[in-house]
Amino acid sequence: MWGDYVVRAKVPLAPFTTWKVGGSARWYAEPDPYELPGLLAKAFAQGIPVYYLGRGSNLLVDDDGIDGLVVHCWKSMCSIRRLAENCVEAEAGVPLPKLSRFVADLGCSGYEFLIGIPGTVGGGVVINAGLRSPLRREISDVILEADIVEPDGSLRTLSKEEIGLRYRHSSIINTGSFILRARFTLDDFESGAEHIRRRTAHHLQERRQKQPLNRSTAGSTFKQVRAGPATGWYIEKSGLKGCRVGGAVVSQKHANWIETSPGATAADVRNLIATVEAEVFSRFGVRLVREVGYLPQDLVFRA
């Protein structure tokens, strides 16, 4: 049914996610940028739903797995290059920390905020990845344009304005479109490469002190509350640090992060998320909004 495309059946997805939980993909492929349009067109023609996977962060794969085609770009779309004096191009599977270091080595600043974000360029663009504290910096501050593949396999180039980036959102987040590659601006060469590398390392060290980067997590679980304290404050003041459901636990280091241990299930994580939502609402009347996507329920490309 897949012709010449290399598509495997019943591939476990847990090893490809940062939480290390979840079931298998009915179909699984790692196409290169030239194969992807044709593969998506074939799936589209047969009515097979397609799900995208980068580094497997910021998402939760259901224990029952995914009844569709999972396109994984972690190995086959990892090219990054400088196109011009003021432009760098990165494919969907490039890890955001790699983009940060690549730009730093060019002697350009402004990408330090990406060093501790465990996602890819593709997912980072789709959700406008970034930080709100201590920096307020997002992909929207540096992107120029992106090449996308539509669900039917057609290709388009979207400007920054057409991508419609805002806080953890874009105009293509629920369309099934795939970010093939993106181009970013280089416009601050004042500091020098070595100084930028030191500042990037310092920024990463600060994140390691505040966030459990050495644990199995998916990054921030909930979006930041629009007004008032940070989301982690509400969770911590609700007495939820260390709250556990099965193999999932609210991190003692940062309350907006959930850690998993060996033997954890996706159901453990989902039930813990529901517990946190209910407790915070009960105490503060604040409705937390998930930043983490559920697959297959959320048909959206995640980092």
Residues acting as catalytic residues: 168, 220, 291
Identify the residue whose tokens are 């937390």: 288
Residue 189 and residue 108 in contact, taking contact as beta carbons nearer than 8 Å = yes
Cα separations in angstroms, 89 against 144, 189, 198: 10, 17, 24
Q: Are the C-beta atoms of residues 247 and 261 closer than 8 Å to each other? A: yes
- Separation of alpha carbons 292 and 97, rounded Å: 19
- The CA radius of gyration of the chain, in Å to the nearest whole number, is 19
Extended strands (E) in the chain: 8-12, 24-29, 50-53, 59-61, 66-72, 80-84, 87-91, 130-131, 137-138, 143-149, 155-159, 178-185, 244-245, 248-250, 258-260, 293-295
* Pairing verdict, β 50-53 and 80-84: unpaired
ω into residue 296 within 30 of 0, thus cis?
yes
Q: How far is residue 48's CA from residue 56's CA, in Å, rounded to a whole number?
A: 21
Q: Which residue type is seen at 281? A: F
Q: 254 with 212: CB under 8 angstroms?
A: yes
